[in-house]
Amino acid sequence: MDNPLKIAIAGLGTIGGGTVRLLRENADLLKRRCGRDLVVGAVCDLDKELAAEWPDVPYFNDALAMVRDADADVIVELIGGADGIAKKLCETAIAAGKHVVTANKALIAHHGTDLVKAAEDKGVSVAFEAAVAGGIPITKALREGLVGNRISRVYGILNGTCNYILTTMRETGREFDDVLAEAQELGYAEADPTFDVEGIDAAHKLAILTSLAFGCEINFDAVHTEGIRHVTAMDIEFAEELNYRIKLLGIARRTEFGIEQRVHPCMVSLANPIAHVDGVFNAVVADGDYVDTTMYEGRGAGERPTASAVVADIVDIARGNSAAALGVPAAEMEPFTVSPMDRHRGRYYIRLMVTDEPGVFADVAAALRDCEVSMEAVLQKGRSPGEPVPVVMTTHETSEGSMIRALDMIMALGAVIEPPRMIRIQSFSGGGIE
């Protein structure tokens, strides 16, 4: 193909600027690899100073005007946000018959199915490799590399901020608030870290991975989501003693009740490679019926890794690659049947702070017995009669509903002085329905 692919980029922040630089600095390489020039034909940002680096590129301060007036085949949306101008920009571009590339995980998690349907009707592409796990090409792996497999489970570390915080807490023994403040100073966490530390960012990404893995519509609302604020240095120390690492994981799998999607801290065995993915790195694991288990690890954010993923999507469009955005055409998507969280079965780590007095442990054991929860092991370090002490228990496999009922009963005991801390112990044996 001799005709250039003309690209218009909305949003010149970290990722947008990196994308323009990559397209221009590696222009010759990209032309050889896709058979045509990739030309940045327009850029847009409210801050004109961000466009000053490229004075030869037409500048817009109105994203919708850029879609309307710029000579572009592809609109790259790097503004962010689930709604507002980002959503309107993508809808307008699709209606105008232009391809869309985005790194916006919130937009795709909330509106991806509708955008993909609209794009298929117009014969254009919606591509979002950069929306999940930064520079790791996981959407392409699920959509194309593993296309011959029935995927039974996909899981991973999907948020580098949380992984950095948990890693640093483990390495230094410091508490969450202290490490979060450091992460903000280093630029690993936003000034408002809510989306990261409450698990919302990881839930956006998991909802997208679920659709790609199982050929169903994206259902963000069905993701059970917990963050890491309640994880303490004490929990991390106990985890190490029990030969586990605490990781915030997103996990999606088929069960006999439907599709289970959950984001929460997990106790992961040190024998599992994902337990050793540290710092700001992400990792995603997919279990397929023919390929067995595959793992993908890399930088999940940042200018260069994310720009790399954005440009990979642009190159696919330039080559004319036409794989369905969500793995199957919209008309072939399966209905989404939610597996209720109280049906989840697994093992649990429980930490109690109790007053050290006679009969406490018998009362706790009775609550567990009454809810059909069986203890596996108990740890208690030292004694301080009449004073608060930590008691850690691990359980045999039980249902989430039973575990929650038991914790409610335990919390009502007078000797329990703060809410019990529960962390799920995650087994990854078996691959399929557990």
**Cross-strand pairs, 266:** 247, 424
- CB-CB contact of 395 with 350 (8 Å): yes
pLDDT over 50 at 434, yes or no:
no
State the greatest distance between any 2 C-alpha atoms of the chain, in Å, as a whole number: 83
pLDDT over 80 at 345, yes or no:
yes
pLDDT confidence of residue 383: 66
pLDDT over 80 at 2, yes or no:
no
Distance of CA 222 to the CA centre of its chain: 14
Nearest-angstrom CA–CA distance, 195 and 218: 19
Query: 5-130 belongs to which CATH class?
Result: alpha beta
> Does residue 6 have an active-site annotation?
no
Catalytic residue among 105, 205, 247, 381: 205
pLDDT confidence of residue 430: 54
- CB-CB contact of 199 with 226 (8 Å): yes
Q: Where are the domains of the chain?
A: 5-130, 138-299+320-341, 345-426
- Residue 49 gets which letter from DSSP? G
**Cross-strand pairs, 391:** 352, 380
Question: CA 184, 19, 202, 208: dihedral to nearest 10 degrees?
Answer: 170
- Over residues 43-67, the pLDDT tens digits come to 999 999 999 999 999 999 999 999 9
- Residue 333 gets which letter from DSSP? P
Q: C-alpha angle 295/299/301, rounded to 5°? A: 130
Q: What is the pTM of this model?
A: 0.94
pLDDT over 80 at 354, yes or no:
yes
Task: Report the candidate in 20, 293, 340 with the shortest Cα–Cα distance to residue 153.
Answer: 293
DSSP3 helix / strand / coil % (the chain, rounded to 5): 40, 25, 35
- CB-CB contact of 282 with 297 (8 Å): yes
Query: Residue 267: what are its φ and ψ, rounded to 5°?
Result: -85, 115
Task: Assign domain 138-299+320-341 to its CATH architecture.
Answer: 2-Layer Sandwich (3.30)
233: tokens are: 């240095």
- Over residues 174-217, the pLDDT tens digits come to 999 999 999 999 888 888 999 999 999 999 999 999 999 999 99
3-class SS at 363? helix
Q: At what angle do helices 27-34 and 14-25 cross, to 10 degrees?
A: 70
CATH code given to domain 345-426: 3.30.70.260
Nearest-angstrom CA–CA distance, 10 and 89: 9
The residue assigned the tokens 């597996």 is 339
- Over residues 111-126, the pLDDT tens digits come to 999 999 999 999 999 9
